[in-house]
Structures are given as structure tokens and as C-alpha cells.
Structure 1
């Protein structure tokens, strides 16, 4: 394929935001080979391994664990790499994070001085997403030495069965497995994970982010900056939005590779250095323009008692959802060119995880994600891009209708019981 076809170049923003980032077009066979190699290099010889969601919350946990093990990486090479990116206008394109939680910025060039950072800490870090927990566990089982400590952070499996074999094998070979999270866990899944020998700690998703859970669960004397990091991370992760620094952390975690983010916040906490702040501000120009486009594309639907705004495009879903809420939406759906979708709620809509659960996803009552099982081949994706996600929107709206009926039935049943 001609690189120009998947490179935004001089194309209008209104066109290239309808397509996935370049990472989507990277063949899975090559991507899998590279991911397998990097995982092996990360895991082999490590005394501990962290499997974490690649967002600010998950990576804050990884930084805390490295601090507890005195295993943080030197931040100076990362700062040099950031400065080089700022100087290179050709590297200004903001590509979307892929479905497994890795960003295209993780594709380090061989000349990058931080290219081998993933293999340098004695606490290895594997960035994963909700759909790749099983793969990450399998890789740890394949490459880790016996008696390591394993941590899983900010991830919740939809079903125990698809992680059972690798988790149970690791329970036999590792010294310990500790799992910190704050998502909505199914009781049966949580019980099965604990029965496998895992120390599972799940915080209240309305009160804590996983960084909070990790900070209080690790037996280490953290100084005050780590508590501040957890607080500011929570401000964004729970969408409290009272501390402007939380947007800096969220944006930076999205645009930086996992090793870079963990190293920088490990060294500086929430007080990001000037080079990082400049990098974030530079990227925000493009980010804001994409938000505006997505908001302009939104169409609002009446579903039961809810106003559901649905839009499409490569954009920052949380900010788009906030704008749509300001326009009167109770819930927002942001369908992405890669085929997945983000569902965001409000005080008047706390069923996002229920909607997502009907279309191959899950999450929190006010923040969830899914990827409907509707893409059989590239023609389906071509239709998805050319119609701005029409089929995906249709099945998600049907899920909203189903949840609305369930809520109505539950309310009616409650009324009936009260009247007897």
C-alpha cells in the first residue's frame, strides 16, 4: 500500500479524522511478531512484571510499583527524546491508540535512544487493554522466570474463562500475583480470580481510581508526591474535573509511550517538566480541532427518557462527551474509525456498562467501551468509514433501547411491589 494513502499529509482534517491512525493498517502478523519480541525482552530476567492499562491510571500504578522496587528508569533520555520530537515537525501527527492500549508512539525508531527502555528496568511493564489481558498473561507465563512477582493494574476481564489457563499456571510458578483495579467486577469472575490464588483488590469505582488502590495496597513508604499523583489521576479518571493538571496527565499518557510516561511521572509526579508541558500544548492544537469536528458531526436521538448524542471520528472521546453533555445529552457515543466505540454517561445516565455489555464491551456506569462484532472483512470497514460508522451506531442504539426497556420494566416492577 502506498504510504501516502494512510498518511494524513495535506489532506483536510474533515477527511483524515474519518480514518483510523496509521497503526490500524500495520499488518497484524508483523505487529504480533514485534509485540511478542518486545514482550520477551521486557519479561526475561525481570524480578517483577506489571501488566497495566496504557492510560494515566494504569501507568501511574506501574510507576508506583517501580518506585516500591527501586526500579525506576533514568528520566533524562526520555526528556531528550521529547525535545527531539518537538523539534521535528514531521512527528506532530497524533495517531489514535489501538485497541490493546498501545499508541503508535510506542513504535520506537531504531535510532531513538529510548528504543530499548522496555528491557532496562528489573520491573517489566506490559501495556495492555481489556481485550488483551489474556495475551499479556500468556506472555508472562512463557517468558518469566519462576518466583517473580506479578501485578495486574486497572484491567477487568469480561469473563474468567478466557484468562483461566494462563492465570492458574502463573499462580503455580510466581511468588505472588496482585491485581489492583476499580472497575465493575462480576462477582463470579472476582471469586474465580481470588480462588486461583490472586490477591485481588477492587476499589469503589465512584470513589477511587486504580492508582488510589495501588497506593494504599503496596507495603511501601511513599512520599507525598505519590498521593498527589493518585489524587490528580483520579480527578480525570473519575471525570471530577476540578484540577486542571489532570488533563495534562491524561493527554500526556495518551500521546507518550508507556515507558516514557512511567519514567517522567515517576521522576516528577504531577509537576511535569517544561519540555513535557510544551509537547502537550503543541499536540492540543490538533486535539481541539478534532473535538470540534466530532461535536459538529453529532446527532441526538431520544431513547426512552434519555437524550443520546452519537458522533464519529478520531478524537478525544472524553472531551467530546463533555461538550455533548453541555449541549443537553444524557449520554454520548463516540464511534471510532478503528471500529470500537466509547460510551459516556452523566448523572442522569448511569448505565454505560450495561449498554456496552450488550455489544461486546464493558466498563463503568458512566464510562464504558465496546467493539461490536460486525466487521467480517475490509469491505465492512470500508462501509464503516464511508458511512461514518452507520452500522456500529445502529447496533449501539439498539443496545440503548434494550437497556431502556429493562430499566422501565425494573421501575414498573418496583412500583408494583410498593403498591401491594
Structure 2
């Protein structure tokens, strides 16, 4: 494929935001080979391994665990790399995966993932099983395993690797704040896993890790957890939380963990400049997505639905300000984010009907509507028409369930 076809180049933003980032077009087989190699290099010989979501919340947990093990990486090479990106007018695809640490021979941080005695494996909710399998394959017996900010949809698909690790690891500790199914939580705990789940509307996972890890953390770690919570729970009282969230998205996992581990919420000047530079593009994408939104009446709710490469939380906030109770942001790569409000706390129920899950006010899904590249071509050219349709149908189903439940309650009274 001609690189120019998947490189934004001089294309207008209104066109390239309708397509996935370049990483989408990188074959899974090659991506898997690279991920497998990096995982092996991170895990082999490690005293402990952290499997975590690659956002600010999960990576704050990883930084805390490295601090507790005295295993933090030297931050100076990462600061130099950020400065180099600024001076080089770097145009790296900002929709790259969270574990986007570079493999460039000229990058002094390219091998950072193999340098700490606490290995770091960024993962998503649908790759927990793969990460567990890699730890089982490459970790030494007696390793300490931590799993942070991740919740499995059910126990069966993680059972085999988790049970194997329960027999070989010295300890397994799992910190989270998502909505756990009671049977799944019980099955995990029955293996001897120390599972600590915080209240999803009160704590982020960094809060859970901070109170659960037996270490004398200084005050900057409590501040890091508080500011991370401010964004993760969408409280939005502290402007620094946007800096953390944006930086975690645009930086590689190793870089973010090293920088917040060294500086906490007081990010160095080079990092603040980098974040501000990237925000120009971010704000323009938000404006486009908000402009594309269409509002639907579903039961008692106003549901705004939009499409494009954008920062979904900020788009959802803008749509709420315009009067929507819930927002759906369909992404070019095929997944979707569902965001609620005080008047809509059923996001996880909607997502659960279309191959997803999450919180009452924040959830994600990827509807099973893509069989081949023609389906994706239709997805891009119609701005996610099929995906939007099945998600709206899920809203309708939840609305009916809520109405039935309300009628039953009223009858009982």
C-alpha cells in the first residue's frame, strides 16, 4: 500500500479524522510479533511484573509499584527524548497505541522496557488473557504479579493463564475500580489473588493501589492519585488532571511512568510544552466531532451520537453541555465510547449488549459488525452507520428494561 494513502499529510482534517490512525493498517501478525518480543524483554528476569491499562490511572499504579520496589527508571533520557520531539517538529501519529515507545535505534529510550526489574505490560480490557499468557511463558517462578485498572468481562477467558500463574507466582495482586461481576470476582479470589476493587464513583485505581501497597509513599503520590482521580472520574476540578490524561495518551507507557514517578503532577517544562503543542490538533478534532453529532430521543434520554478520531471524554462533555444525557463516540477503528451523565447512569448496561462494558457513566464497546475490509470501508464512508445503529438499538433495549423496572417498583409501592 502507498504510504501516502494512510498518512494524513496535507489532507484536510475533515477527511483524515474519518479514518483510523496509521497503526490500524499495520498487519496484526507483525504487530503481534513486536508485542511478543517487547513483552518477553520486559518480563524475563523481572522481580515483579505489572499488567495495566495504558491510561494515566493504570500507569500511575505502575509508577507506584516501581517506587515500592525501588525500580524506577532514570528520567533524564525521557526528558531528552521529549525535548528532541519538540525541536524536531515530530509528526508521530498521535493515535498510536499507549505502548508506543519507539523502536528507533537513535532513540535512547528504545530499550527502556527491558531495563527495570519491574516489567511493565500495557494492556486493554480485551487483552488481559494475552498478557497473562505472556507472563506465564516468560516470568521466573516466584515472580510478583500486579494487575491494575483492568476488569475481565468474565472469568472463563482468563482462567487458564491466571490459574497457571497462581501456581507459579509468589503473589498476585489485582487493583481496580471498575464494575466487577460477583462470580468473576469470587473465582479470581478463590485462586488466592488479592483482589481489591474500589468504589467506581469514588476512587480511581491509583487510589486503590496507594492504599493497598505496603510502602511509605510520600505526599506527592497522594497528590498524583488525587489529580488522576479528578480526570478518571470526570470530576474536572483540577486543570492539571487534563495534563496527565493528555500526556499519558501521547507518551509511551515507559516514558509516562518514569516522568510521573520522578515529578508527580508537577510535570517538567518540556513535557508541558509538548502537551500544549499537541492540544492544538486535539481541540480541532473535538470541534469536528461535536459538529458531526446527531441527537436521538431514546426513552426519556437525549443521546448524541458522533464519529471520528477525537478525544472522546472532551467531546462527550461538550455534547452534555449542549443538552444530551448520553454521548456515543464511534471511532474509525470500529470501537465506540459511551459516556453518561447524572441523568444517565447506564453506560455499562448499553455497552454490555454490544460486546463491551465499563462504568455506569463511562463504558466502551466494539460491536460485532465487521467481517472484512469491505465492512470497514462502509464504516468509514458512512461515518459508522452500522455501528451507530446497533448501539442505538442497545440504548432502546436498556430504556425498555429501565421503564419495566420502574413500573414494577411503582406497582410494588
Distance 1:7 1:339 in 2: 19
Distance 1:214 1:340 in 2: 29
Task: Determine if contact 1:209/1:234 at 8 Å carries over to the other structure.
Answer: yes
Sort the Cα spacing of 1:30 and 1:141 in 2 relative to 1 into closer, same or farther, 3 A.
Answer: same
Structure 2 residue matching 1:342: 3-state secondary structure: strand
What is the distance in 2 between the residues matched to 1:104 and 1:390?
30
How far apart, CA to CA, are the structure 2 residues paired with 1:100 and 1:80? 22
Change (3 A) 1:14 1:100: closer
How far apart, in 2, do the equivalents of 1:211 and 1:99 lie? 25
Equivalence for 2:76: 76
Residue 102 of structure 1 deviates from its aligned partner by: 2.9
Could you tell me which of 401, 405, 410 is aligned with 1:410? 405
Query: Residue 61 of structure 2 contacts residue 209 of structure 2 at CA under 8 Å; is this kept in 1?
Result: yes
* 1:388 corresponds to which of 356, 363, 383: 383
The alignment covers a number of residue pairs equal to 408
Deviation at 1:337, TM superposition (A): 0.2
**Deviation of the 1:110 alpha carbon:** 2.3
> In the aligned structure 1, how far is the partner of 2:220 from the partner of 2:340?
31
Deviations 1:170-228 (A, max 9, x none): 00000000000000000000000001110000000010000000000000000000000
**Aligned-partner Cα distance in 2 for 1:305–1:280:** 39
Q: Which residue of 1 aligns with 2:137?
A: 142
- Deviation per residue, 1:49-104 (Å, 9 max, x gap): 00000000000000000000000000000000001111xxxxxxx99999999337
8 Å contact kept, 1:154–1:182: yes
Asked if 1:285 is matched to 2:280, the reply is yes
Q: Which runs of 5+ in 2 are unaligned?
A: none
Contact 1:100–1:132 (Cα < 8 Å) also in 2 = no
Structure 1 CA distance for aligned equivalents of residues 90 and 361 of structure 2: 25
Shift of 1:107: 4.0
The SS at the match of 2:183 is: helix
Report if the CA contact (8 A) 2:99-2:253 is conserved.
Answer: no
Alpha-carbon separation, structure 2, partners of 1:97 and 1:308:
34
| Cα distance change on mapping 1:371 and 1:419 into 2, 3 Å | closer
Supply the distance in 2 between the matched residues of 1:96 and 1:390 (Cα, whole angstroms). 30
CA drift of 1:350 comes to 0.1
Q: Does 1:243 align with 2:238?
A: yes
How far apart are the structure 2 equivalents of 1:334 and 1:128? 21
How high is the TM-score relative to the length of structure 1? 0.95
1:23–1:104 CA contact under 8 A, matched in 2:
no
* Aligned alpha-carbon RMSD (Å): 1.9
| Cα deviation digits, residues 276-299 of structure 1 (max 9, x gap) | 000000000000000000000000
**1:418, CA displacement in angstroms?**
4.8
1:326 pairs with 2:321: yes
- Residues 378/159 of structure 1: CA separation in 2 closer, same or farther (3 Å cut): same
Equivalent-residue separation in structure 2 for 1:384 and 1:190 (angstroms): 36
Alpha-carbon distance in 2 for matches of 1:175, 1:274: 40
Q: TM-score, normalised by structure 2?
A: 0.97
Deviations 1:223-244, CA, capped at 9 Å, x for gaps? 0000000000000000000000
Q: Judging changes above 3 Å, is the alpha-carbon distance between structure 1 residues 124 and 271 closer, same or farther for their aligned structure 2 residues?
A: same
Contact 2:345 2:360 in 1 (8 A): yes
Cα displacement string for residues 4-57 of structure 1 (whole angstroms, at most 9, x for unaligned residues): 000000000000000000000010010000000000000000000000000000
